[in-house]
Copies of this chain bind each other. A is one copy, B any other.
Amino acid sequence: MGIQKTCKALSDRTRREILDLLKNGPMTAGEIGMHFSVSGATMSHHLSILKEAGLVLDVHQGKYIYYELNTSVVDELIAWASRLKGESS
């Protein structure tokens, strides 16, 4: 958590695109991976960074792990950026 991890997580294009995908609702790691031309291991790496940053939550469901967007951390980013402009939120 924290703005450091949030910004680092967002500094990679693939990870931002993962978040864009998750706007439409939770997806399994495999489903997410199908949208990108990277190995499963690389996808797992990106997901773990997004999870560490709190930008996604993971829900274990049987054989699958569903990932979903965590908007509260997005709100924290917006709040940080707003303060830069001297605004309360």
A interface residues, Cβ below 8 angstroms from B: 3-4, 7-8, 10-11, 13, 16, 19-20, 23, 69, 71, 74-75, 77-78, 81-82, 84-86
User: What is the distance, in angstroms, from A25's C-beta to the closest C-beta of chain B?
Assistant: 11
Determine how close the nearest CB of chain B comes to the CB of A56; give it in whole angstroms: 11
Q: Which of B8, B81, B85 contacts A81 (CB 8 A)?
A: B81
> Within 8 Å CB of A71, what residues of B?
84-85
Distance from A8 Cβ to chain B, minimum over Cβ atoms (Å): 5
Question: Would you call B81 and A69 a contact (CB within 8 A)?
Answer: no
- Knowing A4-B13, A11-B7, the reply to whether A77 touches B81 (Cβ < 8 A) is yes
The answer to whether A23 and B81 touch (CB under 8 A), given A7-B11, A11-B11, A16-B7, is no
Residues of B within 8 A of A86 (CB): 23
Cβ of A50 to closest chain B Cβ, rounded Å: 12
